[in-house]
Structure 1
């Protein structure tokens, strides 16, 4: 808590000092302690109202840094049940002291503050347990030992697809936000000039606004998918329209995007997430491993059953990855929302249900397209192999029948001359034919005598 609060308090004191020096008026540095306490609570989900300024949008970058700091400190101090309980009690007590000592009006009562701060501490401690404790590895090893190999490979495929696509969504939101910043920098400079801010105030307030960059990235993902986002009742931003004329003159509002006039660009932007999901699914289905797509021969019944089983495992892995991604995006959208006022700026951010449905639909289209493409290709290759095999068998059968017919004709040997019928004489006929010859020989002998 000291590391976090002191670092944050020094920056806030510096920013307030520079703003007081450049803008004149009262000394704002006197309220740096109270504002630091409020921002520490704001990073854990507790909004506040300071005069006419209402801030209820949770700075997710500060929240991520705080969770990482808790995890790092807890991993170095040692993890266990007793350290978690003692740390939880100390952490909640410190935050309740901050809540009671600040002069700004908090939006949540004391029990809600305790619950939210306890959640942040527990989340950071869980990361420390996963980094340092051998218990999660033992549990995973024990579970893996009782699982079939197919289930283990399916779960591994689910984890890979989920991690890659979650990174792709974050990268898409970051790139889109950077494009907004580059394109809207002149609008932000114009608002700086309208409010009379000098260079030091511009730089420090711009750095301070970076703590809401993950929120802006979530809004950018919703904008890319076509759901858009809104700034209360004063502005609705989608690829088909952008309304910012009625917004208050906050410099950060100058970065919000305009409509995309080219229909082809809108179609390309909306197809980014589904195409990425399809490509990632196809790559992981074809990567070498136990669940790699393969071609079975038509006469290989065991290979055909294996291919069908692999396709079923792929479908289960993609469905599980879709559920995890939809749940994660829903949490991201919900945490990035908040309020900047009590009336027309009460709800700022995305429509969580609409954006979540749009995200799930886009990812489902990509996964389903990849799976059906793989199934069609396998079926086509299998059909081609089956047709070629049948043609080969019929060709061999016809060759065999032609060979047998040709051999019989060669033995008979067709002749051009007519054949005379053969007469078969018996031994009795032969003896009769030889008797006249013998009588002639006997007559000739008598005459010579």
Structure 2
């Protein structure tokens, strides 16, 4: 008999599995015997219903609070539910009709809310199996398409809802399922793909993602500074609106829904190209071209025309600083075999950061109405190119000189040239 090696340590995930297995049968529901795909569908329905209710309940409450107004006498309470459904669809990328115009500016706060409810539902009720995951995402996307069909958005709206549901549901439900006790680690799921991708590319992807996450964090901090600095203007706009309690709550929720959009616009400001809030406007470190803005308190935090130029022209240098951070990550994570491994990783860092920055600008911009307000947000192409250049230069400045393989190759080439020069000089002296 082999000698005893002592108790086997039990990880946190294994402990939760054992606790679930030891749970009394009294607490076992009928859903535990359902097919895995059926459980996945129910988890998706639960996540979608939660986010819809978060919007529908306040909308109905506002209708009840304003039902005494004679102008609302012919408005049914179902209209409030339809408005909430359109907002929910807008969070999934489906344009919403407002006053004869289409609003395509996605409230990223509501998008994050939908992804959060999906993650919470999947973590609580989902099953981390392939069939369960596929059924969850497919059910969520089909439900989004069904809501768009009921709201009468047309074929284009239904297709947008389907695609938006796949993205939001895939991210939210996937996140929740990975937190389940029986779920495999994310690294294990990606291992077959990672094994076929060069290490330098993987390191570049990680470092590029780190760079964009750092830029978003800096943009969020700067957004908070702008809001605090412009609090007087924000308060003046709120006072001019003369809102009651219900209107104030609605406005506060709407501004929170678009707060992540403002953070992404500030990222465009940090990059240098800036952003627009209406055609003909530009908010950038080099210049501020302001125009008539909607009476939205959040916009009172935007920089004034006198807060541009001068030392602020150097603000895009933050891209190079973040690139230095990414280059440091490449230096720590990569064990290069050849010099081109470092150059490949740096190139992937630049491409990843530029692509992610462009995608953020693309999803955070759009039309907030007709006329001038049809142009809101930053230029995805321009911000992406500038971000890729700045972060790439920073990563190159740190990762290449700091790498021992690069330094060894440079020394070897230097010695070869020096040795060739010395030999040529000796041959010339002998010939003389």
Q: TM-score, normalised by structure 1?
A: 0.68
Residue 249 of structure 1 and its aligned partner are, at CA, apart by 2.5
Secondary structure in structure 1 of the residue aligned to 2:373: coil
Rounded to whole Å, the distance in 1 between the matches of 2:334 and 2:89 is 49
The answer for the alignment partner of 1:274 in structure 2 is 320
Select between 248-257 and 83-92 the one with higher mean Cα deviation.
83-92
**Distance change >3 Å, CA 35–CA 107, structure 1 → 2:** farther
Q: Deviations over 1:41-61 (max 9, x none)?
A: 111111212335753211112
**Distance change >3 Å, CA 106–CA 252, structure 1 → 2:** farther
**Distance change >3 Å, CA 144–CA 234, structure 1 → 2:** closer
**Distance change >3 Å, CA 71–CA 188, structure 1 → 2:** same
Rounded to whole Å, the distance in 2 between the matches of 1:329 and 1:355 is 7
Q: Is the 8 A contact 2:286 2:312 kept in 1?
A: no
Rounded to whole Å, the distance in 1 between the matches of 2:177 and 2:155 is 32
| Of 305, 308, 328, the match for 2:356 | 328
The answer for the alignment partner of 2:218 in structure 1 is 172
Q: Is the 8 A contact 2:146 2:158 kept in 1?
A: no
Q: What does 1:83-94 align with in structure 2 at a 5 Å threshold?
A: 83-84=132-133, 86-88=135-137, 90-94=139-143
Q: Deviations over 1:98-147 (max 9, x none)?
A: 334448x6794333333332343334344456555438644544566788
**Distance change >3 Å, CA 29–CA 372, structure 1 → 2:** farther
> Is 2:95 aligned against 1:67?
no
Residue 209 of structure 1 and its aligned partner are, at CA, apart by 1.0
Secondary structure in structure 2 of the residue aligned to 1:230: strand
**Distance change >3 Å, CA 347–CA 242, structure 1 → 2:** same
**Distance change >3 Å, CA 129–CA 137, structure 1 → 2:** farther
Q: Is the 8 A contact 1:223 1:238 kept in 2?
A: yes
The answer for the alignment partner of 2:380 in structure 1 is 352
Residue 77 of structure 1 and its aligned partner are, at CA, apart by 1.6
Q: Deviations over 1:266-325 (max 9, x none)?
A: 31x22112122114413652x4x773xxxxxxxxxxxxxx8xx46433222222222222
| Of 130, 139, 147, the match for 1:98 | 147
The answer for the alignment partner of 1:32 in structure 2 is 80
The answer for the alignment partner of 2:160 in structure 1 is 112
Number of residue pairs the alignment of both structures matches? 361
Residue 16 of structure 1 and its aligned partner are, at CA, apart by 5.6
Q: Deviations over 1:167-217 (max 9, x none)?
A: 211111101211221122222222222222246533541233111122111
The answer for the alignment partner of 2:252 in structure 1 is 206
Q: Deviations over 1:238-257 (max 9, x none)?
A: 12332333223233322222
Rounded to whole Å, the distance in 1 between the matches of 2:370 and 2:269 is 25
Rounded to whole Å, the distance in 2 between the matches of 1:216 and 1:42 is 17
Secondary structure in structure 2 of the residue aligned to 1:49: strand
The answer for the alignment partner of 1:124 in structure 2 is 172
> Is 2:262 aligned against 1:216?
yes
The answer for the alignment partner of 2:239 in structure 1 is 193
Rounded to whole Å, the distance in 2 between the matches of 1:206 and 1:253 is 13
| Of 260, 267, 292, the match for 1:246 | 292
Q: Deviations over 1:318-363 (max 9, x none)?
A: 2222222222111111100111123322121111111111111111
**Distance change >3 Å, CA 91–CA 265, structure 1 → 2:** closer
Q: Is the 8 A contact 1:23 1:197 kept in 2?
A: no
Q: Is the 8 A contact 1:88 1:118 kept in 2?
A: yes
Rounded to whole Å, the distance in 2 between the matches of 1:155 and 1:254 is 43
Q: Is the 8 A contact 1:34 1:101 kept in 2?
A: no
**Distance change >3 Å, CA 39–CA 365, structure 1 → 2:** same
**Distance change >3 Å, CA 335–CA 106, structure 1 → 2:** farther
The answer for the alignment partner of 2:96 in structure 1 is 48
Secondary structure in structure 2 of the residue aligned to 1:109: helix
Secondary structure in structure 1 of the residue aligned to 2:316: helix
Residue 64 of structure 1 and its aligned partner are, at CA, apart by 2.2
The answer for the alignment partner of 1:182 in structure 2 is 228
Compute the RMSD of aligned alpha carbons. Answer: 3.7
Rounded to whole Å, the distance in 1 between the matches of 2:144 and 2:403 is 55
The answer for the alignment partner of 1:399 in structure 2 is none
Q: What does 1:220-235 align with in structure 2 at a 5 Å threshold?
A: 220-235=266-281
Structure 1: tracts of 5 or more residues without a match = 292-305, 391-449
The answer for the alignment partner of 2:34 in structure 1 is none
Secondary structure in structure 1 of the residue aligned to 2:374: coil
Rounded to whole Å, the distance in 1 between the matches of 2:247 and 2:71 is 14
Q: TM-score, normalised by structure 2?
A: 0.71
Q: Deviations over 1:76-97 (max 9, x none)?
A: 4214454345445543443344
Residue 222 of structure 1 and its aligned partner are, at CA, apart by 0.7
